[in-house]
A and B are shown apart, each in its own frame.
Chain A
């Protein structure tokens, strides 16, 4: 059956006056004293003094925020990691925590294998199944700012000094960093010494030998 609202194409159920009454514009008009309220036109912008020659859209700055780096499930605080590249490649090292930049905070400990408190990228590291108990270690004070490079002081040199061999401020490690290292390592070494042979394990370096197949190795 054809819907009652359409007797035939183009003819509506409600007549013109019926539809007007139903819409209720008369009530709004009555409320505002006889005339329909006119919305105020927003003030037109003043004519600009300068029209650019080309229609170029200004670039909007990117609002993209990079996601925080996901930590591999095999890496948990206290895991022994093998460094794959860099100065300490092959060294087995203890993972302490992940910093806000996504880098991993590690320590040798320094006394055992010469690796200081350092940052390392996850992709240059193999996680082993060996874990060290680091509940006694306080690493809350370390963040990316701790590892920031010191700004070089650019002192103005006189002509004579320019030609002398530069005595740059020596890159000695500041004392507070040495103390931090000792503090972290003290707790670490205590935990390490409770496990038999873990100390010599951390002191030894990892290397591939003849016949080794990393794709078949379980770390």
Chain B
């Protein structure tokens, strides 16, 4: 994915799943998406991830800047509910195709 990365592949992000948009029963608010981060199951655990950057990576047919992979950057904003789901805002709203897809939760901006 990264140009010419021949060495060891290291994963410095946590995997997450895009659950959908922030919504009530009959209305949805696409500016905020909901993300389930692996291993995070309570509201208190989410505090560590607040402000961390997110990347939704997807493939397109045409090449832009010599790669077919494209990315939408975002941030974890706050917890959603009590069970570790997280609200996130992206630079541009996520497309509906992203529901159920993976998102990368990076460990920066770090405060450890």
A residues adjacent to B (C-beta < 8 A): 72, 74, 84-85, 89-90, 122-127, 205-209, 211-216, 219
> For A208, what are the chain B residues with a Cβ–Cβ distance below 8 Å?
10-14
CA distance A202 to B55 in the complex (A): 28
Which residue numbers of B lie inside 8 Å of A, CB to CB?
8-14, 39-40, 45, 47-49, 106-112
A213-B39, A214-B48, A214-B107 are contacts. A219–B10 as well, Cβ < 8 Å? no
B106 touches A85 (CB 8 A): yes
| Interfacial chain A residues near B11, Cβ < 8 Å | 207-209
Residues of A contacting B111 with CB < 8 Å? 72, 123
Contact A90–B109 (Cβ < 8 Å) = no
**In contact, B8 and A205 (Cβ under 8 angstroms):** yes
B39 touches A126 (CB 8 A): no
Is the pair B10, A205 in contact by a Cβ cutoff of 8 Å?
Answer: yes
Note all chain A residues with C-beta closer than 8 A to B8: 90, 205, 207
Please determine whether A124 and B108 come into contact, CB atoms closer than 8 angstroms. Answer: yes
Inter-subunit contact B109/A126 (CB<8 Å): no
Decide: B12 and A207 in contact? CB cutoff 8 A. yes
The reply to whether B40 and A89 contact each other, CB–CB distance below 8 Å, is no
Closest approach, in angstroms, between the C-beta of B50 and any C-beta of chain A?
A: 10
Residue of A90, A127, A209, A215 near B49 (CB, 8 A) is A215
Chain B residue contacts of A214, Cβ below 8 A: 14, 48, 107
Residue pair A74, B112 in contact (C-beta under 8 Å) = yes
13 residue pairs from A and B, CB less than 8 Å apart: A72-B111, A85-B106, A85-B108, A89-B12, A123-B111, A207-B8, A207-B10, A208-B11, A208-B12, A208-B13, A213-B14, A213-B39, A213-B40
Chain B residue at minimal CB-CB distance from A85: B108
A127:B39 contact, CB within 8 angstroms:
no
Quick check: A126 and B48 within 8 Å, CB to CB?
Answer: no
Task: Say which residue of B40, B45, B47, B107 sits within 8 Å of A84 (CB atoms).
Answer: B107
CB-based contact A89/B48 at 8 Å:
no
